[in-house]
Chain A
């Protein structure tokens, strides 16, 4: 589904990603963990073209995103890939419902009725059916993030990217978002999640990638990586966060 080959990215003169290679299979749930500045969000953002690699390539469903990709490829990729941001990024001047229907209508060409039906169905699924006509500023953080997830799902993506989805939430609200994500995983959605929630990573992911200083240090199944990490750095990181 996602194929990353020797990906390099530099901001100006500073190289931030040093030759990353990894892959994500269909229906796989991959969690990327690591300290701040390790490049995990940057890597994630390469997967839907928000960051452009300086060298190497990413292929999503066969569509290449390399240094010289064309705009049409980008549009196709973005249709297949949905993203949920740390700070939700809901459109403040639109109602919750409009937030979810906007891209459906403009990008997918669905009719108003079709997109509204889908939107209400998804809102119901994330438990917020009654908030359809509210504005984002009246929602709590957890509710806003669930709406953001619904908004991304409305596009029927094949892959969902999550960039620290719970980092901006109060601890007691984190759970409601993680529940939605767990259900999504159980339904077989391909997910790549950058997170600090080790519990979630251990429970739900099929594979965990630990990154440090712009490179993948170790990757493996959660029970293996958390219980007996191979690399010294992984051990050091885990001992600090667990």
Chain B
């Protein structure tokens, strides 16, 4: 079966724009989700039962239901009660809400993987709860979360393809459009796949670089 990539050349600009939109959606959802996750984590770690249970329930629901369904609810179901979002906003909201749950758990793991000995030493020295958090736990926790966070961003980027289902003109949607015009299905998917893979690979390399530079020490 002959493969002819030449037909795709006129679509290079479209593909590139689609990729930019994918990256844009990813960036917004990553930042917004990361911030929302701080609130979620603080709720989860709170000593009061209500925030703990609410945050915990939110995280469990998000993590045990498909992203697609969350998107359906936001884009198709909310209009039933008069809340209408355009496709790109709906996509960003769904990705943000989804991302926040996973990032909150990453924050939690980052704090919990701090060796208990450090917390005990802080307690033995008489450091207050606040000082223990800021002076002893925060920096090690930040360094702990960098690898899983960068991984999460890669996953988020791949998940942004879901917005194609509600016709957001990101990369996956552009690819489907090209296939219907050129019928060069295999070629389009190969090129698109390479684009996704290329970006994911670059992100992974960047994260390795950050890790080796930032995480300088071993626990002693």
Contacts and interface: CB of A to CB of B under 8 A. Distances in A.
Direct contact of A and B (CB under 8 A): yes
B4 interface: no
A92 B121 CA distance: 12
Interface string B101-137: 0000000000000010110111111111001000110
Interface string A101-130: 011001100000000000000000000000
A106 B139 CA distance: 17
A188 to B, nearest CB: 22
Contacts of A137: 217-220
A43 to B, nearest CB: 15
**A interface, size bucket:** 20 to 34
Q: Counting chain A CB atoms within 10 Å of each CB, which of B117, B140, B216, B220 scores highest?
A: B220
A230 to B, nearest CB: 34
A139 to B, nearest CB: 7
A89 B121 contact: yes
Nearest to A79: B126
A184 B122 CA distance: 22
A196 B33 CA distance: 51
Contacts of B123: 49-50, 78
B53 interface: no
B143 interface: yes
A83 B127 CA distance: 13
B217 A93 contact: yes
B176 to A, nearest CB: 48
A85 interface: yes
Contacts of B115: 89
B217 A135 contact: yes
A91 B217 contact: no
B219 A92 contact: yes
B217 A106 contact: no
A85 to B, nearest CB: 6
B122 to A, nearest CB: 8
Interface in B183-213: none
Contacts of B121: 83, 85, 89-91, 148
A78 B140 contact: no
Contact of B124 (A50, A88, A102, A135): A50
B124 A93 contact: no
Contacts of A139: 220
Given A85-B117, A87-B117, A89-B118, A106 B219 contact: no
Contacts of B122: 91, 103
B220 A151 contact: no
Interface in A63-100: 75, 78-79, 81-83, 85, 87-93
A82 B126 CA distance: 9
Contacts of A135: 216-217
Nearest to A99: B121
A83 B217 contact: no
Contacts of A136: 217, 220
A107 B127 contact: yes
Contact of B120 (A85, A152, A155): A85
Contacts of B143: 93
Interface in A14-61: 48-50
A151 B219 CA distance: 17
Q: Which of A49, A78, A79, A93 is most buried by chain B, counting CB atoms within 10 A of its CB?
A: A93
Interface of B: 115, 117-118, 120-128, 131, 135-136, 139-140, 143, 216-220
Closest 3 CB pairs of A and B: A89-B121, A103-B125, A78-B126
Interface of A: 48-50, 75, 78-79, 81-83, 85, 87-93, 102-103, 106-107, 135-137, 139, 144, 148, 151-152, 155
24 contacts: A50-B124, A75-B126, A78-B123, A81-B124, A83-B124, A85-B124, A89-B117, A89-B118, A89-B120, A90-B121, A91-B118, A92-B219, A93-B140, A93-B143, A102-B125, A102-B135, A102-B136, A107-B131, A136-B217, A137-B218, A137-B220, A139-B220, A152-B125, A155-B126
